Amino acid sequence: MMRRTAHLIIFLFALSNASATESSRLKPVIDGDWQVLYAPVNAGPRVNDHTIFQDVNGDWRFVGIAARVMRDLTTPYMGHAVGPSLDEPMREMPVVFKSYPDRRPKWAPHVIAHDDTWHMFVGPGRIRHYASPDGIEWTFHEVAIHPGWFPFRDTMVLKMGEDEWLMYCTNRDNTLSVYRSADLYKWEFVQTAFKSIKPGTAYPRWFNISAAESPFVIHYEGAYYLSVCLVSLFEPKSYNQTLIIRSDDPLDFGVYAADSPETTADLVTVLPVHAAEYIHTPDGRWYITTCGWETYPGVEGMVPGTVLIAPLRWEKVD
């Protein structure tokens, strides 16, 4: 009798674990209308990759690529805007880092706050590290990563534990690399976290760029969700193609090759957005942003060149 009882307990435990695993396979869903969050004027007519964060006063801030036509890849400054709420348009501020610490291009920042210090990481090529006591005024600290490849870009930092952070970056050959730090200052390469290959969106090796860009990783309900924008100049529709890939391991999101058997990535959904940021507010609400060049088709009702924001919810994958 005890043996049967033990077997029943084991069976119920296994069933419970299976149910938990199944219920944790979720996907983000856009859950409302898109609204303009930031419409650049002085910084330039269009916005590309960006970061959204709260400063010491609780105000929301935008910093990102806001440039004039044909200067997106060479502009040394970034657009800047601020607002008290995510439910109304932000006010444009003077551009930041126009020649600080250099006049090299500045792309795709990401900001994370820890212990009363805000940290901003900016590419491309040399990943520059800025620090701030309030999220408003910034001081250049040092070059955090210098891989020697100019299009190395699009950083995103995820806090893992008390003394561990992971940084995801767009690297060569349609890949995302992951780095690890114990203090947000010194970083070491860990491994390739994701790769896109044909017939998925990917560039040939001779084309020295990477289609896998704008990574953002979310830890939600016990799993990790990678948002990655797969963009190819050879496939214009890919500009607003963002994959959401689930993994139990934040260091490995697999290989994506569309419907090919070479795919190992657990794709849960595709969102029609570009360079998305995901915001989880202190009161528990979720938001998603999108942006992009005005010459490419965007989300329905998009005001060309702006940053748009919409509410987000999570639901089970069918």
203-262 tens-digit pLDDT: 999 998 999 999 999 999 999 999 999 999 898 889 999 999 999 999 999 999 999 999
Is 99 among the domain residues?
Answer: no
Is 209 among the domain residues?
Answer: yes
Residue 105 has pLDDT above 50, yes or no: yes
Residue 277 has pLDDT above 70, yes or no: yes
pLDDT of residue 71: 74
- Between CA 188 and CA 212 the distance in angstroms is 21
pLDDT tens track for 110-169: 999 999 999 999 999 999 999 999 999 999 999 999 998 999 999 999 999 989 999 999
Is 10 among the domain residues?
Answer: no
pLDDT of residue 305: 87
Q: What is the mean pLDDT of residues 94-109?
A: 94
> Looking at the 3D structure of the chain, how many domains does it have?
1
Is 74 among the domain residues?
Answer: no
Is 103 among the domain residues?
Answer: no
3-state percent helix, strand, coil for the chain, nearest multiple of 5: 10, 45, 45
Q: What is the mean pLDDT of residues 177-197?
A: 98
Residue 303 has pLDDT above 90, yes or no: no
Q: Could you tell me which residues come within 8 angstroms of residue 315 by beta carbon, excluding any fewer than 6 positions away?
A: 26, 27, 29
Residue 278 has pLDDT above 90, yes or no: yes
Is 62 among the domain residues?
Answer: no
Distances (CA, A) of 259 to 231, 239, 318: 18, 19, 18
- Host domain of residue 256: 26-49+108-316
pTM for this model (two decimals): 0.91
pLDDT of residue 293: 83
Distances (CA, A) of 305 to 61, 65, 66: 18, 11, 9
Is 15 among the domain residues?
Answer: no
pLDDT of residue 150: 93
pLDDT of residue 236: 87
Distances (CA, A) of 122 to 75, 86, 145, 207, 229: 13, 23, 10, 23, 18
Residue 95 has pLDDT above 50, yes or no: yes
Residue 77 has pLDDT above 60, yes or no: yes
Is 86 among the domain residues?
Answer: no
Structure confidence at residue 70 as a pLDDT band (50, 70, 90): low
pLDDT tens track for 5-49: 334 333 333 434 444 344 489 999 999 999 999 999 999 888 989
- Between CA 306 and CA 289 the distance in angstroms is 10
List the CATH number of the domain containing 168.
2.115.10.20
pLDDT of residue 24: 80
pLDDT of residue 15: 37
Question: Which of 298 and 88 is assigned the larger pLDDT?
Answer: 88
